[in-house]
Every structure is written in structure tokens, then in C-alpha cells.
Chains A and B, each alone.
Chain A
Amino acid sequence: MFAYAKTLRDNRRERTGVLFALPVVLFLIAFFIVPTVLLFVFSFWQSRSFVLVPDASLTNYIDALTRPAFRQTILTGLTIGLGTATVATVLSYPVAWFIAYRTRTNLLLYIIMLSWFSSYLVRIFAWRTILGTNGLINSALLSLGVIDAPLEILIFSPLAVTITLVHIFVPFTLLLLLSALRNVTPDFLAAARDLGASRMKVFFRVTLPIAYKGFVGSFMFTFILAAGDFITPQLLGGRTGITTGLLISNQFRQTGNWPSGAAMAFILMAVFLVVYFVLVQVLRWFRLSPGLRFHPPVEELRAEMAQAKEA
């Protein structure tokens, strides 16, 4: 009797759930799923003298992939993306660690998040002012007599783009790293230290396996955001900093070739996926991913313990 009443109530509860989810699902189908499918279909169409012709050919993909200039933009985008993600993660980890284990309030986090809300474009403009030909660094170096002519490499280069993107995305990276570290309670760390593990070992054997998903997520998010960005390369990249994202955006904003741009977008997505799988594989090779099979065999552990005892 009771069980029956409960299922009835559960059924009704589930029906309300479906009802509640309906608006958002419809919205996402209309403005996320359908456009994505449409874009995919578009990538097989042709553009003949600015008129779109329905087609089902791989011409756009082949054209893009056989153009050396396009492959170069992929490389530039990858360099910028991987550079940004690596630097942002390395810079943020100690701060995330500090917030997680050395502070009691979230004040520091709130302060850092505040910078995230200080406009994306403003920060690009700030770095243009700092790195520009007449910018702060160049004028300072000139007046100190370190250089005779302004350093041109500072601005309008992949380097300028990477520095700016690190500055833009670093709070986001930190937030994700921190939420990953929150899963690693201080007790685990203390226990590992008590059992004689070095700081390095604690990181590789305890912290990383537990926070693995969060670490990979934070790196990948920063990578995708940075590699897919097109406004920073447009404003600071110059001729050597043209990324695939910028190329795609040009196809869609000026009187460009939409189907070709759509194909490039899906190639870029595929590249992102490849980067993800390579990252996971590399971590596995270095035995940094979690999972029982990566634990050292018992004999190895015993030997290590014996060694630790002797020392």
C-alpha cells in the first residue's frame, strides 16, 4: 500500500520534472542543436559567386586541408592555445593550492573573480597599451637605453596574443583548478605526509589522481577558449598571429564563403578533440591518470617502503 502510494507520488514528481525541463530543452533544441546540425549541413554546400548551392561534397574540407596557409593557421592556433593553457594552469596552481589549504575565507577567490568581470576587451586594450610600439615596455626600455629601436615582436605576434589570453582566462583556470582541489581534503594530504611521502609524491600519488578530471577539464577549457578566440588575434596577432578562429570569423563576417567557413569550424572541432585524446594518452603514458592498474605492484611498494625505512 505504502509502496504503491510512493510510486504514484514519484510518477507525479517525474512528470513535473519533465514539464520543468521542457522549456529549456525546447530552447536548446531550437537554438543549439538545430543551428549546429544546420552548420554541419552547410559545410557540405557550395558557394558559387556568393550564392549558396546545396550540395553534398567534401570539397570545402579538402580545399581547406590542402591549403598550406590554412594548416599554418591551425598550427598558430594550437601554439597559442596550448601555450595559454599551459602557462595559465602553471601560474594558477600555486594560487589555487594557497586558497584551498591556506585560507579560511573565499575573499581571495572573490577578488580574483572580480578581475574576470573587468571586461574582455578592456584587457586586450590594456595589453596593447603595454606591449605596443609606443607602449609602456618599449618606451621604458628606450628611455633606459637598453634598446635603440622599439621591439616589434612584442605586439602583433602570437606572443602578444598568448600573453593577453593568459591574462584573460587565468581567473577561469584558477576557478576550475580550485574546485578540483576542493575534492582533495587536507586529511588525505596529511595522511600521505605522515606515511612519509615527499611533497612531490603527495602531488603525483594523491592530489593528481583525485583531482584528475578537474585538472584535465581546466586545461582543456582554457585551451579551447584560447585556441577558439578570434578577437585577440585580430587586434594583437598581426600577420604572424592569424588563427583558424580568425579565418573562420572572416568567412562569416565579411562577404566570405560560409560553407567553407563551416567546414573549417568542424575541422577545428576535430583538432580540439584530437588534442583532448592526445592529452589523456600522454597522461596515461606518464602514469598520471587515476585507475587501479596504474598503482605500482605490491613488490614495488614493499621495496619502496623498505627503502624509506633505511633512509
Chain B
Amino acid sequence: MLRAYVWLYLAFLFLPILMITLFAFHATSALSFPFEGFGLRWFREILGNDRFIGALKNSVIVASATSVITCLLGTFAALAFPRLSERPRAALGFLGFAPIVLPGLFLGIALLVLFERLGIFRSLVTVIIGHTLFCLPFFIETVRTRVAYFDAELELAARDLGAGPFTTFRLVTLPILMPTLLAGTILVFALSFDEIVITVFIIGDQSTLPFFILSMMRRTVNPTINAVSVLAMLLTLTMLLVAGGILWMQRRRAIQRRVSDKEIPQ
């Protein structure tokens, strides 16, 4: 009974997406059944669209920059938590989490007002700032839970054994946190790649992929939207699978290493 319900739930989640994928390969422009055969017409059409290619390129630039900046800022923030005493820690926790609680709309208009007052020209840079603000809480929360489980004594032990702070970070902290950092960064990339709510307010003349899709959706019901959607989902899916693969391989390597360490007499 419950099992059947779970299947229904999955169907509710995935059938609409599968439908979009199906219609992306539709030979005709009809968006209803009966299905009239497969074709790549819509993909050819969209891949020949320069504005689409430009938007895709911009999205990759924005998502990459957002990932790198968020990862740098967020990792240091996550590492700061166990080092701070109670009150600053609570303050940092609150500040780092607060942007999540507000709807994207609020962040978007607040940033728009700031950029306008400061006379900052709206461009991909402002979009990257907005995306970083939106993604930081997700990243910090992800890494913070891992850092909380991480034994701080390990760092202290390394220091006692004579390693400098930088060596300790490189040889102890970073390897332990690496999988989490990677997962968090991929999450940020995916979030940024799909972000539209804040973007609409702080984007300049250029266009990101979701912004391009939105302007298409506002104009007409155009079957090429299906093809664009499928390409966007494919990209995100590939990223997630690659990240999953890397994590899995790392875990296997770690397990192997643990076994081989025991065999080497020291």
C-alpha cells in the first residue's frame, strides 16, 4: 500500500518531466497526443539559435564563477564555526542562514536597489553576486554539518606533531573535507545554473539560460522550449552524475588505502 503510494509520488514528480522530454523529440509542433513520430527538428532549430548558445555560455560562466566564489567563502565560514566561541558562532550561523529564509524576490529587489544606488552597471558580475548570496547558505549548511562531525583533535594532533597551520590544512583538513566540498560546489553550480527569481532583477543586457527560456515562454508556446529544457536538464544531470561518480571513487580509494596502510609495517 505505502509502496504503491511511493510509486505514485514518483510518477507525479517525473511524468511531467518525461512528457517534456517526449515532446522535445516530437516530429510535429503539436503538444498533445496522439504522438506523431520522433524527430530532432526542435534540437536542430535551437542549436542553430545564436541567442541560445550565448545564453548557455553565460550560464556556464555565471555558474562556474558562483561555484568557485561560494566554495572559497563558504569553506572558510564552515571552518570558522568550531573555532569560534559560542556567541559569535551563533551570530555567524544566523547571518549565514538568513538569506535562505527570505524569498528570492526579496533578495532580488534589495540587490537591485543597492546596485542602482551605487551606480553599478548591471551585468553578469551582478548576477554572480546575487547567485553567490543565494547559494552561500546551502553550501555553508552542507559543509558545516560535515565539519561538526570532523574531529578537531585531528588538527591539533597534526599541530602537536610539528606541522604548520598550512601543512595541517593541506594534509589533514582538506582531504577529509574534500568530498563534501565537491558535493557542495556541484550543488551550487546546479542551483546557480537554474536560478531565475533573483536573476530577472539584476541581469543587464546579457541573458542566462533560464532568462532565455523565460522570455521564450512569455512570448509563445513554442515546442523548441521542450528541446531547450531537455538540454538544460541533461547538463545538470551529467554534472550530478559526474559528482556522484567522483565521490564514489574517492570512497573506494579511501577504503582501499585503509586496507593497504595496515599491510605496511612502519
Contact = CB atoms under 8 A, between A and B. Distances in A.
Contacts of A95: 5-6, 9
A167 B32 contact: no
B96 A119 contact: no
B226 to A, nearest CB: 8
A38 B110 contact: yes
Interface in B68-99: 72-74, 76-77, 79-85, 88, 92, 95-96, 98-99
Most chain A CB neighbours (cut-off 10 Å) among B13, B74, B233: B13
B23 interface: yes
Contact of B229 (A27, A110, A122, A261): A122
A32 B236 contact: no
B196 interface: yes
On chain B, which size bracket covers the interface? 35 or more
A231 B197 contact: yes
Nearest to A136: B32
A19 B112 CA distance: 30
Contact of A245 (B98, B99, B105, B114): B105
Nearest to A174: B9
Contacts of B133: 27-28, 31-32
Contacts of A97: 2
A123 B16 contact: yes
A118 interface: yes
A127 B13 CA distance: 12
Interface stretch (A190-198, A202-210, A222-230, A278-286): A222-230
Contact of B77 (A21, A102, A245): A21
Contacts of B114: 31, 34-35, 38
Interface stretch (B39-47, B213-221, B249-257): B213-221
Contacts of B84: 14, 17-18, 21
A121 interface: yes
Q: Is the interface of A mostly helix, strand, loop or mixed?
A: helix
B217 A14 contact: no
B165 interface: yes
A57 interface: no
B179 interface: no
A249 B105 contact: yes
Given A94-B5, A117-B190, A258-B113, A20 B79 contact: yes
Interface string A78-109: 00000000000001101101100010000010
Given A121-B210, A252-B201, A224 B101 contact: yes
A19 B1 CA distance: 54
B63 interface: no
A228 B229 contact: no
Interface residues of A, number: 76
Contact of B218 (A25, A140, A235): A235
A122 B10 contact: no
Given A18-B80, A119-B210, A265-B105, A24 B136 contact: yes
B232 interface: yes
A115 interface: yes
A59 interface: no
A91 B232 CA distance: 28
A178 B112 CA distance: 36
Contacts of A31: 111, 114, 129-130, 132-133
30 contacts: A14-B84, A20-B77, A23-B72, A23-B77, A24-B92, A25-B95, A27-B132, A28-B136, A31-B132, A32-B98, A34-B114, A39-B110, A39-B113, A98-B2, A98-B6, A108-B6, A112-B13, A120-B210, A121-B194, A121-B196, A121-B213, A134-B31, A135-B32, A139-B33, A224-B102, A228-B102, A231-B214, A248-B109, A253-B201, A261-B109
Interface of A: 9, 13-14, 16-21, 23-25, 27-28, 31-32, 34-36, 38-39, 42, 91-92, 94-95, 97-98, 102, 108, 110-112, 114-115, 117-130, 132, 134-136, 139-140, 167, 170-171, 224-225, 227-231, 235, 245, 248-249, 252-253, 258, 261-262, 265, 269
Interface of B: 2-3, 5-6, 9-10, 12-14, 16-17, 19-20, 23, 31-33, 72-74, 76-77, 79-85, 88, 92, 95-96, 98-99, 101-114, 117, 129-130, 132-133, 136, 140, 156, 165, 190, 194, 196-197, 200-201, 210, 213-214, 217-218, 221, 225-226, 229, 232-233, 236-237, 240, 244
Given A14-B85, A125-B213, 15 more contacts: A17-B81, A17-B88, A20-B83, A21-B77, A31-B111, A38-B117, A39-B113, A92-B9, A108-B6, A125-B229, A132-B221, A230-B105, A252-B112, A265-B106, A269-B106
